[in-house]
Amino acid sequence: MDQDEILLDAEERMEKAVQVFQGQLQGLRTGRATPGLVDSIRVDYYGSPTPLKQMANISVPEPQQIVIRPFDNGVLNDIAKAIQSSDVGLSPNMEGRLIRLNIPPLSTERRRQLVSRLKELAEEARVSIRNIRRDANKHADQSEKDKSMTEDDRDQTRDKVQDLTKKYEGKVNDLSASKEKDIMED
């Protein structure tokens, strides 16, 4: 691999790690209702776990309420069970052909738990980014051993990989700080 390939691969993978972290943040609850809270809940649908967003229309008619309208009314009970067994901490209210989820205000203790979980997710994202850095540095070292890259090019590549690492860890930190502020606000 040459320098450009190593850097491009590392940057793409780091960007993907940040996107995964952003997706995880959507599932963390603040005091407001958002479809992201339940989008990724998996429901056992004819023997295969299927994301809820593929099985139902999810809307937020009020700031403290989520309404789920399944495309197939036969899975209403399965969706309710999946929501109850998930770690979202909401209890579904079945009303005819839809499910309502009322979002209660967060207690201070629950907010602290969510912030703690947020910090765990952020650290996982940073570790992922550092692993990508390690892989890119290995590729640079291997390229230098294979004589396809000079020692100076290898060092330059490692420096650029480190710059990418700092950039993407900064993005994770910014997203984390913003979400923590959202969670802790009343």
Rounded to an integer, what distance in angstroms lies between the CA atom of residue 122 and that of residue 128?
Answer: 10
Class of domain 35-102: alpha beta
pLDDT tens by residue, 48-68: 898 888 899 999 998 888 999
Q: Does domain 3-26+107-184 have CATH number 3.30.565.10?
A: no
Q: Per-residue pLDDT for 1 more than 90?
A: no
The domain locations on the chain are 3-26+107-184, 35-102
Q: Is the pTM of this model over 0.95?
A: no
Residues 6+ apart with CB under 8 A from 150: 144
Residue 63: helix, strand or coil by DSSP? coil
H-helix or E-strand containing 93? strand 92-95
pLDDT tens by residue, 140-167: 999 999 988 899 999 999 999 999 999 9
CATH topology identical between 3-26+107-184 and 35-102: no
Length of the chain: 186
Mean pLDDT of 74-92: 85
Q: Per-residue pLDDT for 29 more than 80?
A: no
Mean pLDDT of 84-94: 83
pLDDT at 103: 83
Rounded to an integer, what distance in angstroms lies between the CA atom of residue 67 and that of residue 38?
Answer: 10
